[in-house]
Amino acid sequence: MTWLRLVRAELRKLTTTKMPWAFLAVLVTISGVTAFAVIFGTDADGSKGFISTAADQKSLTAFAYNGLIIAALFGAIAVAREYGHDTVVPTFLIEPRRHRAVLAQFVAVMLAGGFLGFVGTALTMVAVAIALPATEYNFMMSVGDIMQLLAASSFAAATGAVIGAGIGTLVRNTGGAVAALVVVLLIAPPLAVQLVSEAISWVPGALANVVSGVADDVGMAAALTAMAAWAAVPAIIGVFVAERRDVV
């Protein structure tokens, strides 16, 4: 019961500053850019091939990787600022067994991240649906496609939020956490692929495409497990370090 109270407190922390609105504004902007691309964009040959089939439209609106990156930034900032503003101190005074407090923080960030992913996908789909009548193509995605994209994006963004939260716990400085996140999610994966070519199927972008149903490099279960592992590693290290480190 106490732990659920901590999750509720963490959710209230996330919803009582302007940060979520800033992220929602980013999602609205991305959906607007997507609509613009649908109306005015073309492939290299000048055609509108990128929206000509249901599969093309599904690829266009697959938001899982975007959701993962955006939610990871959200998680990193949300957690690192807790240390920056020392607002983690009252949290650890309420629950001095810090692993419980940190887990509550991760769960709250995960829920918020999943929500951002869901909203991001929904907005993108709506934008595409609104923009398509301006072209010669109709909205062709099935309900199954829509549900899969929403679920995939929510899942990917939730894992991304936990990745960010874990890194925010370790780095504790907002700028540093964002920089570390860029290294972990954007710089390290291509380098790893350069070193071990098989890694290309296991980097976040590839896994997000698999769970969205727009790629099949690995099986769905393997992709879901691998994404969960991406989140678990920084989260477990973060809990371990937070439990032992002096807070102030």
Stretch that binds another protein, among 2-10, 32-40, 132-140, 174-182 (CB under 8 A): 2-10
Which is closer to another protein, CB of 85 or CB of 187?
85
Rounded CA-CA distance 113/125 in Å is 18
Which is closer to another protein, CB of 191 or CB of 247?
247
Residues between 111 and 170 that touch another protein (CB under 8 A): none
Rounded CA-CA distance 126/93 in Å is 44
Q: How many helices (H) and strands (E) does the chain have?
A: 11, 0
Residues between 83 and 122 that touch another protein (CB under 8 A): 85-97
22 binds another protein (CB under 8 A): no
CA distances from 27 to 148, 160, 241 (A): 19, 15, 33
The rounded radius of gyration (Å) of the Cα atoms in the chain is: 19
Residues between 62 and 81 that touch another protein (CB under 8 A): 81
H or E segment and range at residue 196: none
From the CB of 84, what's the least distance to another protein, in Å? 9
248 binds another protein (CB under 8 A): yes
Instruction: Determine phi and psi for 88, rounding to 5 degrees.
Output: -75, -20
Could you list the residues that contact another protein (CB under 8 A)?
A: 1-2, 5-6, 8-9, 12-13, 16-19, 81, 85-97, 246-248
